[in-house]
Amino acid sequence: MSDPVPSVIDHPGRAASAAPPAPGRSSRLSDRLLAVAFTSPALLLLLAMSVFPLLWALYLSFTDYSATRGGPAAFVGLENYTAILTSAQVRLRALTTLIYVVGAVALQTVLGFSIAYLISRRTHGRGLLTTLFLVPMMLSPVVVGLFWRFMLDAQFGVINSMLGSLGLGQVEWLTRQRTALISLIVVDTWQWTPFIMLIALAGLTAVPKYLYEAASIDRASEWFRFRTITLPLVWPLLLIAVLFRAIEAFRLFDLVYILTSGGPGVSTETLSFHVYKVAFLGFNTGTASAYGILMVVIVIVLTQLYLRYLNKLKED
Amino acid sequence: MRYPQRTGRLYVPRRKARLATAAVLVATTLAACGGGQDGGAEAGAPKAPATIPELTKDPLTLSFIWFDWPPAHALEDFANAEYAKERSNVTVKVNTVPNANWHDAMFTQFAARKTDFDIPILDSQHIGEAVTNGNILDITDFVQKNIDVKAYNPYLLAAYGQFPQAETGKRDENAKLYGLPLLGDTWTMIYRKDLIGDKPPQTWDEMISVAEKCQADNPGVSGLAFHQANGSDAAAVTYNTVNGVYGGNLWDPKTRKIDGVLNDAAGQEAMEVLVNKMKPLTAKGSGNWFIDEVNAAVAQGKACIAFNWIAASGGLLDPKQSTLGTTREQILDKLGFATLPSQKTNLVPLGGMGMHVSAYSAKANQAEALNFMKWFERPDIQKKWAAAGGVPARTDALESPEFLNAGPFNKVYADSVPRMRDMWNVPEYARLVDIENTNVNAALNGAKQPKAALDDIAREQQGVLDSSGRKGGGGL
């Protein structure tokens, strides 16, 4: 005898889940089993490709393991972490990374928001302009690095050629301490300003029109409308874009590798580039793992603080 | 019949899920730990058989790994044309990577204990790292039985195969061999005959003053062009060359002492000459130049005197790549190639690479690799390799008309062989060369004072050698 179908459905969700299996489906294949069967491949993949490597790196970070030397990994406690946190070399790279992150993200935010603001005020050709501005973001950083390397070449590059035709002198973009880091910031800004612009544009488009209409009736100035309507409404979205960009900029590797190789000397070596050297020049896998873990922890802590600020902003 | 009361949320017992996840992680971790320990048991280079095992008759691809430059392409063409005459079932593939990735490309595969190449072409200084980790075969017995060692300059045989490292200019006949020469190389001085005359400068000081005058007399042309980049071994080889010429030493291999040796009076003088006398004669922004950029400057007539590896200089004679003439003869009327000037010594840098056999290659491929090496070192093949644009190592091939007439710089190489000096061939080489590269590059580009840069090199390199047995925190 089959189970009776409930005559009164007081909760649709509950009723749906309480319904018996459809005719023809094996009675052994319950909802739970089916759900596990469908999600387990993705879960296993996640465990194998993300969770396990992270835990494995955590384990290696407490050892002196070297991938090329092989052999059993000897437990060294917190020595790798102590060495990294007390290293003058690491502090120097951290400072370079900080200058780079602050410089690049600030420039991208100002430029990205400005471009988005200007585009949002246009009625014609907005879609085409947005698409054109997005092109740099779609290119591989390695490709971007290579063609900027040619363009910034002091002898044969197009930038110095243009400066020369304007009667200005040659600039050693990639081989001087100050200009090399500025060049990195400029190239990263060229590529990633469109990302900030895109997010800001989404925010600007979502600002209700009636607020501006009300402000117009009150004869509010352009600056007053921007300061009291546009910016406060777009700000939380912009901060999320800044968060994404800051995380990306923090782990910058490819542009440094292609454009400057960390030079001149080590003046443009970021933390990620340094980890690469520790991991693959000396194959000090244990130290490199600790270095990587510390970088992840820093990003997580800063992100949490940032998100709390963002939530507080929303509540206010 | 009862069905669990749920409201759209999947009911999975949390404890079971956690246990299952933990079990999977523990299992995977144990499996990974096991793999690491197996790898460790293989430490130390395994031995190749003295006699070449029976070769397969099935189709086989013999894979090399090298960096992307003209000799790599020349080798693939040459081997497929010549080796196929004897082994028609074998295809030779020379896989190339950018120069900056060369070390990483080989050693990350070695680290995985699995390689997609059979013959890694190692820089002479990589041998120590590969031998210590057991990545390449010990071919001492194979060489004894199959190779006429007396046919070579002893130092060439030692530099491309011996470990521990040989004393400069010598070979220890009792030491083990792990490779055979593939391509010899050294620096050549390339000079503009039309600007400085037919006779090349004989001393380093003379070379600098000639370059200075040439730069002053020819606006738009820089006096010198040489490697300054902080990638690969670019800036390091430049300093090491000047260091050798001015009577300096890179280290004392017996005591493993660098601090106090590299930065002694001779070392300081060499750094002063490089940064304060040579650098001002280079083009603006040349602080990241390596092989290609130096060649471009010469080909475009932008340098009076340049230094580059001989094996990379062939393109300079190609009219399609040069503004110095429309024929090879016209270019040669303007370009001269000479051995490096001497000063306190006549040392020149040892370049080039050897062939080795991957310890992780299939047995059939290892056998084929040994057969290829035996074939390649035959006198007739060495002469053919010379004619095809390669730089052989056998003395008879080096003295042959096939080699000496193949390029205007080949005589430079033959004359330079007795003057060669190598860097350190130790497992820590990659870090030592990085320290030197970054500091010399910093000094050349004004990011550090020359003396401070040299002292930093000596101190940091000494730290690397001293901490090779250290537990934890290595590599920073």
Query: pLDDT at residue B124 above 70?
Result: yes
Q: Tell whether A83 lies on the interface with B, counting CB pairs under 8 A.
A: yes
Residues of A in contact with B3 (CB under 8 A): 17-20
Q: Does A106 fall in a domain?
A: yes
Which one of B1, B448, B476 has the shortest CB-CB distance to A90? B476
Q: Tell whether A175 lies on the interface with B, counting CB pairs under 8 A.
A: yes
The answer to whether the Cβ–Cβ distance between A265 and B441 falls below 8 Å is: yes
The answer to whether the Cβ–Cβ distance between B442 and A282 falls below 8 Å is: no
**Domains by residue range for chain B, with CATH:** 60-185+351-421 (3.40.190.10), 187-349+424-466 (3.40.190.10)
Give the pLDDT confidence score for residue A49 in this predicted structure: 94
Q: Does A27 fall in a domain?
A: no
Q: How confident is the model at residue A69 (pLDDT cuts 50, 70, 90)?
A: confident
In tens, the pLDDT along A265-276 reads 999 999 999 999
Residues of B in contact with A91 (CB under 8 A): none
Q: For residues A194 and A201, give the distance between their C-alpha atoms in angstroms, rounded to a whole number.
A: 10
A145, burial (CB in 10 Å: exposed 0-12, middle 13-18, buried 19+) = buried
Q: Tell whether A227 lies on the interface with B, counting CB pairs under 8 A.
A: no
In tens, the pLDDT along B408-420 reads 999 999 999 999 9
**Overall average pLDDT of the A280-306 stretch:** 94
CB B176 within 8 A of CB B138: yes
Which one of A69, A87, A160 has the shortest CB-CB distance to B133? A69
The answer to whether the Cβ–Cβ distance between A73 and B36 falls below 8 Å is: yes
Q: How confident is the model at residue A3 (pLDDT cuts 50, 70, 90)?
A: very low
Q: For residues A75 and A85, give the distance between their C-alpha atoms in angstroms, rounded to a whole number.
A: 19
Q: For residues A240 and A310, give the distance between their C-alpha atoms in angstroms, rounded to a whole number.
A: 8
Q: For residues B260 and B271, give the distance between their C-alpha atoms in angstroms, rounded to a whole number.
A: 15
CB neighbourhood size of B172 (10 A): 13
Residues of B in contact with A263 (CB under 8 A): 229-230, 287-288, 438, 441-442, 445
Q: Which residue has the tokens 């912009």?
A: A238
B127, burial (CB in 10 Å: exposed 0-12, middle 13-18, buried 19+) = buried
Least confident of A22-31, A70-79, B32-41, B116-125: B32-41
Q: Does A254 fall in a domain?
A: yes
Q: How confident is the model at residue A20 (pLDDT cuts 50, 70, 90)?
A: low
Residues of B in contact with A262 (CB under 8 A): 230, 438
Residues of A in contact with B115 (CB under 8 A): none
Angle at A264 between CA B240 and CA A139, to 5 degrees: 125
In tens, the pLDDT along A158-188 reads 999 999 999 988 899 999 998 999 999 999 9
Which A residues in the span 116-135 are in contact with B, Cβ-Cβ below 8 Å?
Answer: none
A197, burial (CB in 10 Å: exposed 0-12, middle 13-18, buried 19+) = buried
At B71, list the tokens.
Answer: 């000799």
Q: Does A6 fall in a domain?
A: no
Least CA distance to A21: which residue of chain B? B3
Say whether the peptide bond before residue A264 is cis (omega within 30 degrees of 0).
yes
B90, burial (CB in 10 Å: exposed 0-12, middle 13-18, buried 19+) = buried
Query: pLDDT at residue B191 above 60?
Result: yes
Q: How confident is the model at residue A4 (pLDDT cuts 50, 70, 90)?
A: very low
Q: How confident is the model at residue B17 (pLDDT cuts 50, 70, 90)?
A: low
CB B64 within 8 A of CB B119: yes
Supply the CATH number for residue A242's domain: 1.10.3720.10
Residues of A in contact with B108 (CB under 8 A): 67, 280
Q: Tell whether A51 lies on the interface with B, counting CB pairs under 8 A.
A: yes
Residues of A in contact with B134 (CB under 8 A): 70
Give the pLDDT confidence score for residue B442 in this predicted structure: 98
In tens, the pLDDT along B44-53 reads 789 999 999 9
Q: Does A58 fall in a domain?
A: no
Q: How confident is the model at residue B18 (pLDDT cuts 50, 70, 90)?
A: low
Give the pLDDT confidence score for residue B14 in this predicted structure: 56
Query: pLDDT at residue B33 above 50?
Result: no
Q: Tell whether A94 lies on the interface with B, counting CB pairs under 8 A.
A: no
Which A residues in the span 143-162 are in contact with B, Cβ-Cβ below 8 Å?
Answer: 153-156, 160
Label residues A61-90 b or e (16+ Cβ within 10 Å = b). Answer: bbbbbbbbbbbebeebeebbbebbeebeeb
Q: Does A23 fall in a domain?
A: no
Q: How many CB pairs under 8 A join A and B?
A: 198
In tens, the pLDDT along B378-397 reads 999 999 999 998 999 999 99
**Overall average pLDDT of the B211-233 stretch:** 96
Which residues form the domain of A284?
A: 89-315
At B177, list the tokens.
Answer: 């061999």
**Residues near A257 by Cβ (< 8 Å), separated by ≥ 6?**
A145, A273, A276, B100
At A11, list the tokens.
Answer: 């909760």
Least CA distance to B430: which residue of chain A? A281
Query: pLDDT at residue A8 above 90?
Result: no
The answer to whether the Cβ–Cβ distance between B111 and A154 falls below 8 Å is: no
Q: How confident is the model at residue B102 (pLDDT cuts 50, 70, 90)?
A: very high
Cα–Cα distance list, B335 to B263, B393, B402 (Å): 36, 26, 22
Q: Does A162 fall in a domain?
A: yes
DSSP string, B337-368: EEPPPBSS---EE-EEEEE--BTTS-HHHHHH
Q: How confident is the model at residue B130 (pLDDT cuts 50, 70, 90)?
A: very high
Angle at A128 between CA A125 and CA A129, to 5 degrees: 85
The answer to whether the Cβ–Cβ distance between B285 and A154 falls below 8 Å is: yes
Give the pLDDT confidence score for residue B100 in this predicted structure: 85
Test mutation, B21, B288, B295, chain A, max A CBs within 10 A = B288
Query: pLDDT at residue B271 above 90?
Result: yes
Q: For residues B283 and B30, give the distance between their C-alpha atoms in angstroms, rounded to a whole number.
A: 57
Give the pLDDT confidence score for residue A78 in this predicted structure: 96
Say how many domains are in chain A.
Answer: 1
Q: How far is A308 from chain B (nearest CA, A)?
A: 28
CB neighbourhood size of A102 (10 A): 13
The whole-chain average pLDDT of chain B stands at 91
Q: How far is B123 from chain A (nearest CA, A)?
A: 14
Q: Does A7 fall in a domain?
A: no
The answer to whether the Cβ–Cβ distance between B24 and A44 falls below 8 Å is: yes
Name the helix (H) or strand (E) containing A100.
helix A88-120
Q: Which long-range contacts (CB under 8 A, 24 or more apart) does A51-56 make?
A: A51/B25, A52/B25, A52/B28, A52/B29, A54/A296, A55/B25, A55/B29, A56/B29, A56/B32
Taking Cα atoms as reference points, which of B436, B444, B441, B430 lies closest to residue B460?
Answer: B436
**Overall average pLDDT of the B252-277 stretch:** 97
Say whether the peptide bond before residue B427 is cis (omega within 30 degrees of 0).
no
Query: pLDDT at residue B209 above 70?
Result: yes
Q: Which residue has the tokens 């200089």?
A: B313
Q: How confident is the model at residue A142 (pLDDT cuts 50, 70, 90)?
A: very high
Least confident of A66-70, A134-138, B173-177: A66-70
Q: Tell whether A72 lies on the interface with B, counting CB pairs under 8 A.
A: yes
Give the pLDDT confidence score for residue B1 in this predicted structure: 40
Residues of B in contact with A74 (CB under 8 A): 471
Query: pLDDT at residue A45 above 70?
Result: yes
Residues of B in contact with A174 (CB under 8 A): 285, 287-288
Can you tell me whether residue B123 is helix, strand or coil? strand
